[in-house]
């Protein structure tokens, strides 16, 4: 074990620094990366820890993000604890290899600092990259703050490396809004952090010469279907209890409670918005203000985007009359991803909630409290009418004439 860094109980860190320290504390064997804004400080920080002797692992600077994930795949297949970070176009360049990592059952942890995908080129945050990876076979966690970016890295390693899981995991955080915004972060000691995740126990590693294995085989029509259905989809849908167990263990260690679906003021809510990332905290504040004005408003935050928490969503929305689904990515000719996921979750239930899709915040555009007041007001009108009173899909915060569809 390398020398440790003495931490205070509370450090003022941004989300990137928090993630970087988490990688240091779990003593990753290999971090392979190619820098891209706004995730660069995560791997830059880890490289600094390596240069200063605080980690024993290797830092590999590759020629591209495709090369970075390819290097991670090789290192994980060889039996190492492996991590990286990227954003936006870099994540798009990784996409081919993401499917290889999950199909090979390699427990890699990727910090995805969410950023718009061009064109036009934009370095600010939205969820275009997060949505692009939703069917790649990776577990996906969502952080709303630097504290959560820190905590969820430990949970991601613990779940991903479980021998009953062995699937890669992504920890999402909003570009600049979380990654570059400093807040107080309650830290773990190096010993406590490492002990929570535990010593890495390789499985089916290529360097175990007494138990030879094959990785990356070709199956064609003979076995491809079975691998996808039984070894990935069925396994992914069974991961939620493992995540819940990790959340419970982390709460015992830290007192910080995480849930698959985070709900706020939902016990008697008649209207609710569902969102991810930093928007959750803003929506919570507005919901409390709406309640002071007589509107029974609530907020649902998606903590685990994959596997999709279908049953938990149906349960939390069972008594709600109108729901706003806030998608921070343009669906280009369709309803947004959250809208479709939630509609699917409610379809065979008794819930009669009116659903409205709000597209917002593209390329870093602010979601203001005034926007959310307007959304909650529309939802209240829908709830009172028992039907849509506005178009099913609207763009929020867009300059010029109002844009709405369906």
* CATH number of the domain where residue 298 is located: 3.40.50.920
With cut-offs at 50, 70 and 90, classify the pLDDT of residue 216.
confident
Residues 55, 29: Cα–Cα separation, whole Å: 9
Does a structural domain hold residue 4?
A: no
- Domain shared by 23 and 167, yes or no: yes
Burial class (CB in 10 A: 0-12, 13-18, 19+), 200: middle
Is residue 248 situated within a structural domain? yes
Same structural domain for residues 174 and 300? no
Mean pLDDT, all residues of the chain: 96
Question: What is the rounded CA–CA span in Å between residue 1 and residue 56?
Answer: 7
383 vs 267: CA distance, rounded Å:
16
User: Dmax over Cα atoms in the chain, in whole Å?
Assistant: 69
Q: Can you tell me the mean pLDDT for 190-210?
A: 95
What pLDDT was estimated at residue 283? Answer: 98
Position of tokens 């507005």? 286
Q: At 3, is the pLDDT very low, low, confident or very high (cuts 50, 70, 90)?
A: confident
> What is the rounded CA–CA span in Å between residue 221 and residue 343?
33
Is 198 part of any domain?
no
103 phi/psi in degrees, rounded to 5: -65, -30
162 in the same domain as 284: no
Q: Where does residue 27 fall: left (phi above 0), alpha (psi -120 to 50 degrees), or beta otherwise?
A: left
Q: Are residues 250 and 284 in the same domain?
A: no
**Residue 1 — pLDDT band, cuts 50, 70, 90?**
low
Q: Pull the structure tokens for residue 87.
A: 């954003």
Residue at 94 is within a domain: yes
Same-domain status, 132 and 154: yes
Residue 34 lies in a domain: yes
Summary count for the chain: helices (H), strands (E): 14, 16
pLDDT tens column, 118-162: 999 999 999 999 999 999 999 999 999 999 999 999 999 999 999
Question: Quick one: 319 and 275 in the same domain?
Answer: yes
Contact 136, 130 (CB under 8 A): no
pLDDT of residue 4: 80
Does 280 share its domain with 392? yes
Shared-domain flag, residues 234 and 329? no
Cite the beta strand spans of 175-329 per DSSP E: 183-186, 261-264, 271-275, 297-302, 304-306, 322-327
Residue at 164 is within a domain: yes
CB atoms closer than 10 angstroms to residue 251 = 13
Nearest-angstrom CA–CA distance, 183 and 145: 8
68 shares its domain with 180 = yes
- Token digits for 151? 């905590």
Residue that terminates a domain, selected from 232, 254, 276: 254
Pick from 26, 278, 260, 243: nearest CA to 155: 243
| Bridge partner list, 264 | 299
d(CA 108, CA 101): 8
At a CB cut-off of 8 Å and minimum separation 6, what does 385 contact?
354
Predicted local confidence at residue 165, as pLDDT: 97
Residues 20 and 157 in one domain: yes
Choosing from 254, 270, 305, the residue where a domain stops is: 254
The predicted-structure confidence for 7-55, as pLDDT tens digits, reads as follows: 999 999 999 999 999 999 999 999 999 999 999 999 999 999 999 999 9
Angstrom distance (rounded) from CA 64 to CA 51: 22
* Residue 2, pLDDT above cutoff 70: no
What is the pLDDT averaged over residues 325-338?
97
CATH code for position 168 = 3.40.50.970
In a domain, 1, yes or no: no
How many domains in the chain?
2
Segment 218-224 shows an average pLDDT of 91
Least trusted range by pLDDT, from 22-31, 156-165, 220-229, 371-380: 220-229
State whether 235 and 287 are in the same domain. no
- Whether residue 204 lies inside any domain: the answer is no
Last residue of a domain, one of 205, 234, 254: 254
Q: Does residue 401 carry a pLDDT above 80? A: yes
Whether the per-residue pLDDT at 318 is higher than 80: the answer is yes
Its domain, for residue 65, covers 10-188+221-254
Residue 102 and residue 234 in one domain = yes
């Amino acid at each position: 074990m390398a020398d440790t860094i003495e931490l205070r109980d509370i450090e003022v860190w941004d989300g990137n620094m928090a993630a970087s320290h988490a990688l240091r504390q779990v003593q990753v064997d290999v971090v392979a990366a190619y820098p891209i804004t706004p995730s660069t400080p995560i791997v830059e920080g880890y490289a600094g820890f390596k240069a200063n002797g605080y980690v024993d692992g290797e830092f590999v600077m590759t020629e591209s993000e495709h090369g970075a994930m390819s290097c991670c795949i090789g290192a994980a297949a060889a039996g190492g604890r492996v991590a990286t970070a990227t954003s936006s176009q870099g994540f798009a360049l990784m996409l081919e290899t993401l499917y290889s990592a999950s199909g090979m059952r390699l427990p890699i942890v990727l910090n995805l600092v969410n950023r718009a995908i061009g064109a036009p080129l934009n370095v600010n945050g939205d969820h275009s990259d997060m949505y692009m990876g939703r069917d790649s076979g990776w577990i996906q966690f969502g952080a709303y703050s630097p504290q959560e970016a820190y905590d969820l890295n430990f949970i991601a390693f613990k779940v991903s490396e479980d021998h009953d899981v062995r699937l890669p995991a992504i920890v999402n955080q909003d570009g600049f809004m979380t990654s570059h915004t400093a807040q107080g972060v309650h830290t773990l000691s190096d010993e406590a952090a490492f002990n929570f995740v535990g010593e890495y126990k390789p499985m089916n590693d290529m360097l175990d010469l007494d138990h030879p294995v094959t990785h990356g085989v070709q199956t064609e029509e003979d076995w491809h279907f079975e691998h996808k259905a039984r070894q990935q989809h069925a396994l992914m849908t069974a991961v939620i209890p493992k995540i819940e167990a990790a959340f419970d263990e982390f709460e015992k260690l830290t007192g910080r409670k995480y849930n698959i679906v985070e709900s706020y003021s939902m016990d008697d809510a008649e209207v609710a918005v569902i969102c991810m990332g930093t928007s959750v905290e803003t929506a919570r504040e507005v919901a409390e203000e709406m309640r002071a004005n007589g509107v029974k408003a609530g907020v649902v935050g998606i903590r685990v985007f994959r596997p999709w928490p279908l049953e938990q969503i149906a349960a939390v929305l069972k008594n709600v009359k109108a729901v706003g689904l806030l998608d921070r990515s343009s669906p280009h000719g369709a309803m947004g991803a959250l809208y479709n996921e939630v509609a699917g979750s409610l379809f065979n239930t008794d819930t009669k909630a009116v659903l409205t899709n709000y597209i917002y915040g593209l390329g870093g555009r602010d979601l203001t409290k005034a926007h959310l007041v307007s959304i909650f007001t529309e939802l209240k009108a829908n709830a009172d009418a028992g039907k849509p009173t506005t178009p099913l899909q609207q763009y929020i915060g867009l300059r010029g004439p109002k844009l709405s569809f369906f």
